[in-house]
Amino acid sequence: MPTLTRAEAAERASVVDVEEYHVDLDLTADGDTFRSCTVVRFRARAGAATFLEFEPVEVVSMTLNGQPVPASASTGTRLELTGLAERNELVVDAVMRYSNNGEGLHRYVDPADRSVYLYQHLFINNAGRVLPSFDQSDLKASFRVSVTAPPDWTVATNGRLVSRDGGRWEFAPTKRISTYLASLIAGPYHVLTDEHDGIPLALYARAALAEHLEAEAPELFELTKQCLDRFHEIFDIRYPFEHYQQAFAPEFNFGAMEYPGLVVFRDEMIPRSAVTESEREHRATVIAHEMAHMWFGDLVTMKWWDDLWLNESFAEYLGTRVAAEATRYRGTWTTFAMHRKAWGLRADQRPSTHPVAPERVADTDEALLNFDGISYAKGAAVLKQLVAWLGDEAFLAGLNAHFEAHAYGNATLADLLGALSKASGRDLSGWAEVWLRRAQVNTLRAEVSRDGANYAEVAVVQTAPSDYPTLRPHRVGIGLFDRVGGAVVRRRRLDVELDASGRTVIAELAGEPVADLLLLNDGDLTYAKIRLDADSAAAVPMLLPLIDDSLARAVIWAATLDAVVDGERPVAELVTLVLAALPMETEVVLVEDVLRATRGLVDRYATPETRPAALELVAQAADRLLAASPPGESRQLAAARGLIGATIDVARLRGWLAGEDVPRGLAVDADLRWLIVYRLSVLGAADHDTIDAELDSDRSASGEQWAARCRAALPDPAAKETAWAAVVGDASLSNRLAELTAAGFWQPEQLELLDAYAERYFAEMPAMMGVRSGMSAERTALAAYPDVAVCDRTRQLAAALLARPELNPILRRVVQDADDDMRRALNARG
């Protein structure tokens, strides 16, 4: 895919103003290509030259204002035009190629029934893979789409369906949208429809998932209606497009994408096996997140990618908020504190850190890399802090003024800050400078001195990394918790303002009786790393299970895990806490995240000598939780998954596959069976025949993906060589299969077998970046990284690769960040 620079985009926007695309696609041919006939109508500066993104397999014909365009104008990635008129009509007939990497028009063959499914994903700079286009966010236009497809297919786009005649579909023109938001799905999709408040609703999924879509539809429609109602309560402008359709597509790169009128989700969100309540909550939050984009991103779009936060930070904040306010999933802020913020904090401390709102994003390659925990989670946490400071009424008033001023157009950071400042009566320039324009994170520590049984002084000390020395104003909660009988109660909570001086004395606590636990950031109002005072930290193992506020427990768990990541506390101490406290944890997202994070830290921070014992304690914690969980409850499933991932009890795992000694209420369904087979594969207790037999009984998309991961995990030299060759060189392997093969490859139990592949990663991964592209390349490179080969040699190999000036920027960022994680692991072992 071609790179577009910021300078090129600004120059092109000064030359052209796009009015309409009429895209006519013929999807009836077999093979890996399709026909695209496009009419582009646009205004321009008379006599000027410009270009469109365009990546054809074959050009059939091209005319500009009725005159032929020479074939040499198409360079393979761009279409160069000269001698423009004030009003122009470009007509291009071309053959284009389907993709298997989730970009352009992705083609998927369902292994369940061999049906073909398509979805269009033009994200950032892939519109040229489907049509010639001015592919930048501030050149909005109306899209009118026509499609010829097999007669048994269903087709849907952003626009409303006008007519259908057999396999011929005609759609109404859309409102003005950016090119990356043009959406389309096609194939024998199963469709369910509904309506709410005058808005037509629809759900789409593959035919193989029809039964599961039918089962999930009542909740999906309910969530959609609840979120629409809540957004209509807080926003003055109603839902700004004609219909609200949601499609669940195979091998989708993102969790979901906010195409106006036709949101696309990865189809794992239509579960075929048992899932936990936290997974259902996650889906609800994603639905709310994508709906928030209808205003932040679709109605008002960032002018250029340096304002990505106007899309993702706001959708992350509002998605979490609206799901909590409008749906039955009231605990989304607990999940945010435990899971999403941890993603942001880790991203913010890596070498690739960047401001929430960078001054400049040079090109679309850099823009892709900024779709990370900073643009999403940190930005959302910063907005939560802003709301606590401004007040909700002023915040929402500013947002509504922003929408009114820029509807169906583009906006910048300055535009939004101006609206918020006017609504609140506060100058936000200083706030924006320290929170949005400067990278990295502060650490807040409680500093306590006593006078007998009372506090003599409580202060909050704020620090910053030496390379990023910014101190910030924070609004934080401070909770005082005491043990009373068999419970822990919050005696008092103060909301206080911390200035940027570095040390703030909390005068209100002088003379207050000392609490059993003093919790900084109670309520999770601010974005910072939290460290407890020594006495509170020592009390955590006894008090944590007894605190009835799940958000407070999330803050404590997150701070504990972060201290281990930073090497301030040993992984052995974490494992001991998990064994003591997790079996009594009632919030399933905390169970899942603590088990997942602890397992990852044990795999990398424990030495090969200490890892088996640490892993056994994790397995014991999961087993105790399993025994304590009511049958059929989410905690039971989460505990079972954690146990399967940590245990080395092969006989027990095989027994569960055979239906023996399975805990009452636990369904060993398709996905749990695969998880067991995967663990057996890692342990060398399964082989190709085992995997093939499981796949024979589960010829599905999920089964195919699980089988690929299991084969890569086998401790067999031939299996490893086959998997590695597929990851680094097999262009026919789809995005999801490549990522999952890479994800199964590295196992801490197999370090001796895998020794040579660490060196091969750094030697061969640059070539892989030519086989794959974009997000698929990034995720495959990250999954294939030798992160469990924790040694100085791995870091030396990384340094040598990073010294190459021509290194692909996506791979450079993957290796930089993974190497920083390796540095932390080595420090922790030391």
Residues β-bridged to residue 247: 204, 264
Strand order in the sheet with 443-451: 503-505, 454-463, 443-451, 529-531
Structure tokens at 825: 């692991």
Structure tokens at 456: 């003599």
CA distance 166 to 28: 12
Look up 290 and say whether it is catalytic. yes
Half-sphere exposure at residue 496, Cβ-oriented, CA atoms within 13 angstroms: 21
Tell me the C-alpha to C-alpha distance, in Å, between residue 341 and each of 317, 417, 470, 523, 727: 11, 24, 20, 13, 31
Q: Are 662 and 299 in contact (CB under 8 A)?
A: no
CA distance 736 to 254: 11
Tell me the C-alpha to C-alpha distance, in Å, between residue 497 and each of 35, 258, 383, 503, 505: 61, 36, 16, 11, 10
User: Which regions of 506-599 does DSSP assign to beta strands (E)?
Assistant: 517-520, 529-531
Catalytic residue (choose from 53, 55, 290, 316): 290
CA distance 592 to 354: 29
Q: Are 543 and 488 in contact (CB under 8 A)?
A: yes
Collect all residues with Cβ–Cβ distance below 8 Å to 217 and sequence separation of at least 6.
192, 203
Burial label, 655 (beta-carbon count in 10 A; 0-12, 13-18, 19+): middle
In this structure, the strands spanning 168-171 and 161-165 are: antiparallel
CA distance 667 to 633: 11
The single-letter DSSP state of residue 787 is T
- Among residues 90, 173, 181, which one has the least CA distance to residue 140? 181
Burial label, 779 (beta-carbon count in 10 A; 0-12, 13-18, 19+): buried
Collect all residues with Cβ–Cβ distance below 8 Å to 752 and sequence separation of at least 6.
none
Structure tokens at 806: 């021509």
Burial label, 558 (beta-carbon count in 10 A; 0-12, 13-18, 19+): buried
* Positions marked catalytic: 290
